[in-house]
Structure 1
Amino acid sequence: MTTRTLTGRHVLAMFVLGFGTIITVNLVLAVNAVRTFPGLEVANSYVASQVFDDRRAAQEALGWQFEAGYDGTRIVLDITDESGAPVRPASLTALVGRPTTAADNQPLVFGPDHAAPIHLDHGAWRLDVTATAQDGTPVDKRITLKVVP
C-alpha cells in the first residue's frame, strides 16, 4: 500500500476548490435573484407614503370586496359593495403575473361580465387590479390566484 503525504499544495487546492464552489454558487444565486425580481414598487417611496393613509381610508370607505377565480380559460372578477350588490367601477384595469417576477406579466381586458380570457399555467399568480369608483376614488387591490393542474 502506497501512502501519500498531505502537502501544503493539497490543502491549498482543497481550500480554493471548496471556497471557490461556495462563492460561485452564491454569485449565481444572487445574479438570478436580481435579474428575476424587479423589486421596484414605486418610483419614490417618500412621496408615495405621503398619500398612502388618505388613499387607503378612501378605499376602505367604499367597502368594496374583491374575489377572483380562474376557470381554466378566463379570470372572473367579482366586485361587491358592503351589502353584497355588484359594483360597476368607472374604470377597471388589471395585470396578471407571477408574484416574484415581472417576466410573465400580462394586461387583462375585462368584458362587461368582469371576465377576461387568458391561459394560465399551474402555480401561484398575482392579480393587480386598479379601479376608479364613480365618485373618482382610486382603488388598488392585489389578489393571489392559485392554479392547480
Structure 2
Amino acid sequence: MTSKSGTFTGRHMAAIFVGGFAVVIAVNLFMATRAIGSFHGTVVDNSYVASQKYNGWIAKAEASKALGWQAVPHRRADGRVVIETLMVPAEATLSATAERPLGTRDDTPLAFAPAGGGRWVSDKALAPGRWQVRMAIRAGDQAWAGEAEIR
C-alpha cells in the first residue's frame, strides 16, 4: 500500500511530539541558567547564626517604624541620589548603600550631606539602571533603617 502525498502519518505525529518536548526542555534549560547566574540572594556567613538574630532584626524594624521618620530616595539628572526626609531631626546623619538587585553584584556605599529642607545629597553619582538603596539615619541614640528602589 502506498502513502498519498499530504497524508498525516504517525511519523509526522512523532516529529511534532519530539519537537514540542525539545522546545520545552530548551526553554527550561535557558531559564534555569539565567536564574542561577543572575540571582545572588541574601548572603550570610552562617545561616544558623543569622536565624538566631532574626527576632532582633524584627525588633529593630518595629522601633524604626515607631519613630515615624520617612525617607524617599530619587536620582537627579547628574546621577547623584537625593533623599527627601520627613520628621527627621536636623542633627541626624544619613548614610546608604546602593546595590544592584539583579545581575552582577555592584554595591556602592554613599555618604550624604544635608541640602536643606529635609533633603540630603549623595557624595557620588550612581550609574544608570535599577538600584536598591538601603538607608540608615542616626540621631543621638535613635536609629532608623529603610530601603527603596530607584531607577
TM-score by length of 1: 0.71
Partner of residue 27, structure 1:
29
Paired residues for 1:1-12 under 5 Å: 3-12=5-14
* Residues 37-92 of structure 1 deviation map (CA, whole Å, 9 limit, x = unaligned): 222265536324321332123212333211222111210123443xx643523xx4
> Using the alignment, how far apart are the partners of 2:25 and 2:139 within structure 1?
52
Q: CA offset at residue 141 of structure 1?
A: 0.9
> Using the alignment, how far apart are the partners of 1:132 and 1:102 within structure 2?
31
Whether the aligned pair in 2 keeps the contact of 1:72 and 1:120 (CA below 8 Å) is no
Structure 2 CA distance for partners of 1:119 and 1:107, relative to 1, 3 Å: closer
Structure 2 CA distance for partners of 1:105 and 1:49, relative to 1, 3 Å: same
Partner of residue 19, structure 2:
17
> Using the alignment, how far apart are the partners of 1:102 and 1:10 within structure 2?
42
* Residues 98-121 of structure 1 deviation map (CA, whole Å, 9 limit, x = unaligned): 44x152633133243332221442
Cα RMSD over matched residues?
2.8
Pair 1:37-2:39 in alignment: yes
Pair 1:70-2:75 in alignment: yes
The alignment partner of 2:113 has SS state of coil
Structure 2 CA distance for partners of 1:131 and 1:111, relative to 1, 3 Å: closer
User: 2:107 corresponds to which letter in structure 1?
Assistant: Q
Partner of residue 55, structure 2:
50
User: Which structure is higher in strand share?
Assistant: 2
User: 1:126 corresponds to which letter in structure 2?
Assistant: Q
Whether the aligned pair in 1 keeps the contact of 2:64 and 2:143 (CA below 8 Å) is yes
Unaligned runs of 5+ in 2: 115-119
> Using the alignment, how far apart are the partners of 2:56 and 2:126 within structure 1?
36
Q: CA offset at residue 5 of structure 1?
A: 4.5
